[in-house]
Amino acid sequence: MLAASFGRRTWTEATYCLTTFPPALITFVLVVTALALGTALTISILGAVLGLLLVATALLLARGVASVYRGLARGLLGERVEAPPAARPDGRLLTRLDARLRDAAGWRAVAYVLVKLPVAAFELYAVGWWWTGLFDLSAPLRWAVFHQRPSGAEGMPTLTPVPAGGGAPHSTSLAGTFVAAAIGVAILLAAPWFTRGVVAVDRRLLRELLGPGRLAARVRDLEETRALAVDDSAALLRRVERDLHDGAQVRLVALAMSLDMVKERLGADGGPVDDPARVRQLVDAAHRNATEALTELRDLARGIHPPALDDGLPDALATLAARSSVPVELAVDVPERPTPAIETIAYFCAAELLANVIKHSGARRAALRLEQQGGVLRLVVTDDGRGGADPAAGSGLAGLAQRVRTVDGTLDVASPPGGPTSVTVALPLHA
């Protein structure tokens, strides 16, 4: 309780509350003044352009102040709010002015500036609780230093007024000061949580008003997932080309050379063979190369689209679990069949996760659960291994996370040191 109340987060939040009030007051006055003058001037025809310029200036000012608030939040609160795309209008003056006035991020920044002042006032009031608690806590010391005889009836304590900001009434008797000190302790214990609650409101406003906006964030996410899908397709094509070049193509070339040598041994006139043993050896080599080429082509095709998926994802996962060297408990509850693209991604995720369990976890047992919740297909793989799996460490989990993002899916990893490990893949039913 005490560690949570007076930890580093508490002091940084209190510092944030004290730091943001002056700029909140100054920018509120500047932005409101510019907006008010600009709106007033737009009423008249002659001052319309000047008024719109003042409104656009207020938007630019709010955008600039928003970057300051994002920096303070990042430095003091650890709250990383991504900046919205910068507005860079081109063209003539009126075109640029129209673009500035239509800047949604600028208007959200203005909304934050207007809301920030009352929020900052509450934040300052929250910090005032600290002063009130310290003032009450020091009541016995102040009584000992500045004690005077009661001004009321002899032996009867009198109360001083409540200090600014609240707190307990402070008695001029020694016993009353200890009561005030106890109230001060309670206020000091509650002050960090009150501060945290007010700052939580500010955090929410920062994310909603000073971030890129839901539409812009969605567009940026779609751009990233499109790039990931293109990169994944290019990597798949490179892998297919490499496997064909280094595998099946080499086998087929060897097969062709073996058949050429057999043809030379047989001769052109169909006469007797000089060295039947050598011919048989060449035929065996050709047969072996043909068989290996077929096997590699079959494996390559399976890597593109596993044949087991033709019968549905549950049967494909049952095949994976049966082939695993670690015992796997399988549970499937999917009343509606997903689209082929989703089935393929889910299958490869399950295959990669089970491979990680076998190679890296040291687990004795694993569980694979596939279920449908609403419109979400949820794949959960757990094991009783050593834990410590980290997607940021450059493992295959990062690649899986990128793959599921291409269809708006998510991958969550819970793997404390010592285990157990649980990886959850959430995918939509339709890509």
User: Rounded distance, CA 27 to CA 114, Å?
Assistant: 9
Pairing verdict, β 170-171 and 159-160: antiparallel
pLDDT at residue 261 greater than cutoff 50: yes
What integer pLDDT is reported at residue 26 of this predicted model? 92
Q: Domain ranges in the chain?
A: 2-209, 215-304, 308-428
What integer pLDDT is reported at residue 28 of this predicted model? 92
Query: Each residue of 308-320: pLDDT tens digit?
Result: 677 788 888 888 8
Least confident of 108-117, 242-251, 374-383: 242-251
User: Rounded distance, CA 157 to CA 198, Å?
Assistant: 38
pLDDT at residue 175 greater than cutoff 50: yes
What CATH superfamily is the domain 308-428?
A: Histidine kinase-like ATPase, C-terminal domain (3.30.565.10)
**Mean pLDDT value across residues 255-260:** 74
Sign of the Cα torsion 91, 94, 100, 103 reads negative
pLDDT at residue 149 greater than cutoff 50: no
114: tokens are 């207007």
What integer pLDDT is reported at residue 51 of this predicted model? 82
417 within 8 A of 388, measured Cβ to Cβ: yes
What integer pLDDT is reported at residue 128 of this predicted model? 85
Which tops the pLDDT comparison, 112 or 161?
112
Sheet strands side by side (includes 376-383): 328-333, 366-373, 376-383, 421-428, 410-414
Query: Each residue of 336-370: pLDDT tens digit?
Result: 888 888 888 888 888 888 888 888 778 888 889 98
pLDDT at residue 150 greater than cutoff 50: no
* Amino acid letter for position 384: D
- Look up the pTM and report it: 0.52
pLDDT category of residue 114 using cuts at 50, 70 and 90: very high
Query: Each residue of 10-67: pLDDT tens digit?
Result: 888 888 888 889 999 999 999 889 888 888 888 776 677 788 888 888 888 888 888 8
Rank 3-7, 170-174, 349-353 by mean pLDDT and report only the highest.
349-353
**Mean pLDDT value across residues 237-250:** 68
pLDDT category of residue 214 using cuts at 50, 70 and 90: low
User: Rounded distance, CA 255 to CA 282, Å?
Assistant: 9
